[in-house]
Amino acid sequence: MFRKRIGVFVCHCGSNIAGVVRIPEVIEYVKLLPNVVHSESLLYTCSEDGLTTIKKRIKELELNRVVVASCTPRTHEWLFRNTCEQAGLNRYLFEFVNIREHCSWIHRSMPDEVTEKAKELIKMGVAKAYFLEPQEEIEADVYPSVLVIGGGIAGMTAALSLANQNIAVHLVEQQNRLGGLMVNLNSFFPIDHDTHPIIEQVEKHPNITLHLGNEIQGISGFIGNFDIDLKAKSFKVGTIIVATGAKELKPFSHYRYGEMEGIMTQLELEGRLSVIGDRLSQTEHPTPNTVVMINCVGARVDERMYCSRFCCIWAMKNACLIKEHNPNANIYILHRDVMAYGTEFEKYYKQAREKGIRFIRYHPLKLPQVIGHQKVEAVKVYHELVGKEIELPANIVVLTTPLVPQDDAEQLSKLLKVPLGSEGFFLEAHLKLRPVEFSTDGIYLCGSCRYPADVPESITQAYAASAKASIPIINGKVKVEAITALANKSLCSGCGNCIKVCPFEVIEFKEKEVGQTFRFAKVNEIECKGCGLCVSVCPNGAMQQKGFTDTQLLAMIDALTEPNDINEPKILIFACNWCSYAGADLAGVSRIEMPTNCRIIRVMCSARVRAEFLLYALSKGIDGVMILGCHPGECHYSEGNYYTRRRGIMVKKILDFCGIEPERVQINWISASEGNKFAEIVKEMVEKIKPLTTTTEKPKIY
């Protein structure tokens, strides 16, 4: 009989995992799991050394299943699958276990509990790996065009880069003009960049179709075949680039901005530099002409913890331009710290000082004060170096504010099913390995929608994103991930449930034998998106989903029901890949502490979860079960979560009929950007379940 030989590799991830989880203890535990013939810890499994070790062990130990316990499969699964394939093992005989985002990062103060949780998560992964089967990927055609969302410098650069490769581009911009923030800038540093030539090139390029003054209403599909709906038009694209940029914060709650004449932001100053220069040189005011710039207004505070990085340079650039208008002007830059990174910016900082621009450091607990009635008269600031408060006469006060996300960033993230970071900017798949990609295949990002970036950085990122987006287009084909549904015609009764619920209409009846009336369901795997909804409504298990079969998922539940050393209630979470699992990842990235009671099973769609799974888990002693999916109306598979909601109501009624607390089962909706909400519902669920486990017996469902 063919024996399953499972190898398990546990990642230290530096101190990200090993700083909390006791890795040697986990390794010794894993060695005792059924069918595990090798377990090993690696400092960084995704490094070249780590990948080489995995390939070496597969060959020398004849491993036919591999489990890696490290970070999220949404960013690294492809890497380890490729590694297995390079070692001669089918790429789908690999299972990923997340012990970083869902374990060490959210339980950093509980080493005992988190070590036990890591053991259980790996045990669940090993249980599923035993039932993995080799799969083959199907090739699908790619629609030969790209959608670029945003007409700023990043979006225009990406569009031109693609168009110059003879690739058709649809560029969608909300405004009635191109240019983004750049059209409001008087000049650029460190490059002398004029927006008009690039705008003209985009407008005249035959391969670029402009959709100005337009918004995206809907996005569906997958890499190679996205359907885009605008207000009055629809079209298809193969890949998508997000380049929506950012906007300048308007500091209405700071320094009497909007209340007093002479107070403005750096962007507003850009449009008035020539006027200001004339005013400074021609003023008859008896005191010296003085401009005071206050940096870090609205940045590095509780509402916005980040630094926009180039704001200091922006202030210096505008201060130098004012000096060019009026060499006698007195200019002060009040700062918390000066961010002048890189050789070129450091030189510019020195030049600004040489021109007589004065830098004064203030403390965030002793903020500057603007003095005046209807018009600015002076600014008071506590000078930390001299240790006393000084008063600076001022004709103009310029507030240097950070870039903040666009108002519609959250709405767009929901349409694309991609996450936002804690600051509200779009979150890339991996800061170092995949900086211009989302975890969702075929969608890329660049510019300040990702994080505040200056013009050279935005241009560089745009070239990188366009290069990534062009690869599937040029190849003309992509491989469809082997997670599609598959019907066993020998078990199929021809009930037609799968055909009725399939949101993509890719299932049809076929005759079992020529001339016979018996029929069975047949899935068009090229067009199947892999939601698994058809599997969950199949009454006799004839329909299954590759990589997420009933047997595999039930094996994970069985592994979780075994006792551990921590006597705490266990809560099982089924999380959809696109939104709720990504939301759980974001909670981990954000290091949000939460109870250690929950264990997550990833499914492609919440609708994949059979009602029987919930009842089975409770009957085996699991204290509570949650299904987490996309918000209604935002399901990646059109309407899968509506079936989830109905199923949850039905299960609650069954539990109530059996005399079991219905609150043991919960259905919730989590988007990819709602890491905080994920943490909240986990805490709420634990609080609901704990009294039930101490005051009542375990559920018994027969």
Question: How confident is the model over 624-640, as a mean pLDDT?
Answer: 88
Find residue 391's DSSP bridge partners: 380
CA distance 426 to 422: 9
H or E stretch covering 459: helix 455-475
Q: Select the more confidently predicted residue: 559 or 701.
A: 559
User: Above 70 in pLDDT, residue 280?
Assistant: no
Residue among 185, 177, 178, 186 at smallest CA distance from 153? 178
pLDDT over 90 for what percent of the chain? 73
Q: Select the more confidently predicted residue: 163 or 702.
A: 163
| Location of structure tokens 């449930």 | 497
How many domains are contained in the chain?
A: 5
End residue of a domain, out of 118, 137, 156: 137
Query: 184 and 118 share a domain?
Result: no
Q: What is the CATH number of the domain that holds 323?
A: 3.50.50.60
Task: Give the number of other Cβ atoms within 10 Å of residue 639's Cβ.
Answer: 15
Residue 562's pLDDT band (boundaries 50, 70, 90)?
A: confident
Query: 488 and 466 share a domain?
Result: no
User: Above 50 in pLDDT, residue 702?
Assistant: no
pLDDT, residue 24, reads 97
Question: How confident is the model over 35-51, as a mean pLDDT?
Answer: 97
pLDDT, residue 461, reads 98
End residue of a domain, out of 401, 417, 443: 401
Domain assignment present for residue 599? The answer is yes
Task: Give the number of other Cβ atoms within 10 Å of residue 22's Cβ.
Answer: 17
For 183, residues 6+ apart whose C-beta sits below 8 A from its C-beta are: 177, 195
User: Above 50 in pLDDT, residue 283?
Assistant: no
Q: What is the CATH number of the domain that holds 122?
A: 3.40.50
pLDDT, residue 222, reads 83
Question: How confident is the model over 423-432, as a mean pLDDT?
Answer: 86
pLDDT, residue 281, reads 44
Range of the domain at 52: 1-137
Residue 128's pLDDT band (boundaries 50, 70, 90)?
A: very high
pLDDT, residue 124, reads 98
Find residue 98's DSSP bridge partners: 70
- The pTM for the full model equals 0.72
Identity (one letter) of the amino acid at 340? A
Tokens for 209, please give them: 């179709």
User: Per residue, what are the HEC states of 500-553?
Assistant: HHCCCCCEEEEECCCCCCCEEEEECCCCCCCCCHHHHCCCCCCEEECCCCHHHH
Question: How confident is the model over 192-212, as a mean pLDDT?
Answer: 88
Residue pair 551/64 in contact by the 8 Å Cβ criterion: no
H or E stretch covering 195: helix 195-204
User: Above 50 in pLDDT, residue 141?
Assistant: yes
pLDDT, residue 325, reads 81
N residues, the chain: 702
Query: 7 and 126 share a domain?
Result: yes
- For residue range 430-486, what is the model confidence (pLDDT) as tens digits? 777 789 998 788 999 999 999 999 888 999 999 999 999 999 999 999 988 899 999
Range from 213-227, 275-289, 660-674 carrying the lowest mean pLDDT = 275-289
H or E stretch covering 239: strand 239-242
Query: 336 and 415 share a domain?
Result: no
Residue among 56, 30, 673 at smallest CA distance from 22? 30
Phi-psi region of 599 (alpha: psi -120 to 50; beta: other; left: phi over 0): beta
Residue among 489, 521, 491 at smallest CA distance from 506? 521
Domain assignment present for residue 258? The answer is no
Domain assignment present for residue 122? The answer is yes
* Cα torsion 329, 335, 337, 340: sign: negative
Query: 593 and 462 share a domain?
Result: no
DSSP for 575-622, written as a single string = EETTTHHHHHHHHHHTT----S-EEEEEES-GGGS-HHHHHHHHHTT-
Task: Give the number of other Cβ atoms within 10 Å of residue 374's Cβ.
Answer: 9
Question: How confident is the model over 90-109, as a mean pLDDT?
Answer: 97
Residue pair 254/159 in contact by the 8 Å Cβ criterion: no
CA 453 to chain centre: 18
Query: 519 and 450 share a domain?
Result: no
- For residue range 354-412, what is the model confidence (pLDDT) as tens digits? 999 999 999 999 999 999 988 999 999 999 888 899 999 999 999 999 999 999 999 99
Residue pair 275/504 in contact by the 8 Å Cβ criterion: no
Residue among 644, 664, 534 at smallest CA distance from 579? 644
290-294 sheet: strands from edge to edge: 263-265, 396-399, 290-294, 330-335, 358-361
Tokens for 91, please give them: 């790429």
Query: 584 and 636 share a domain?
Result: yes
Average pLDDT of the chain is: 91
Range from 33-37, 44-48, 428-432, 657-661 carrying the lowest mean pLDDT = 428-432
Query: 516 and 594 share a domain?
Result: no
User: Above 60 in pLDDT, residue 211?
Assistant: yes
Tokens for 277, please give them: 């220069």
Identity (one letter) of the amino acid at 147? L
pLDDT, residue 47, reads 95
Domain assignment present for residue 199? The answer is yes
- For residue range 144-200, what is the model confidence (pLDDT) as tens digits? 999 999 999 999 999 999 999 999 999 999 999 999 988 777 666 655 556 678 999
pLDDT, residue 186, reads 66
CA 449 to chain centre: 12
Identity (one letter) of the amino acid at 237? V
Query: 387 and 494 share a domain?
Result: no
pLDDT, residue 321, reads 86
- For residue range 76-86, what is the model confidence (pLDDT) as tens digits? 999 999 999 99
pLDDT, residue 412, reads 95
End residue of a domain, out of 346, 376, 401: 401
Residue pair 397/371 in contact by the 8 Å Cβ criterion: no
**Phi, psi (deg, nearest 5) at residue 132:** -65, 145
Task: Give the number of other Cβ atoms within 10 Å of residue 330's Cβ.
Answer: 20
Domain assignment present for residue 598? The answer is yes
Residue pair 439/185 in contact by the 8 Å Cβ criterion: no
pLDDT, residue 594, reads 96
Residue 140's pLDDT band (boundaries 50, 70, 90)?
A: confident
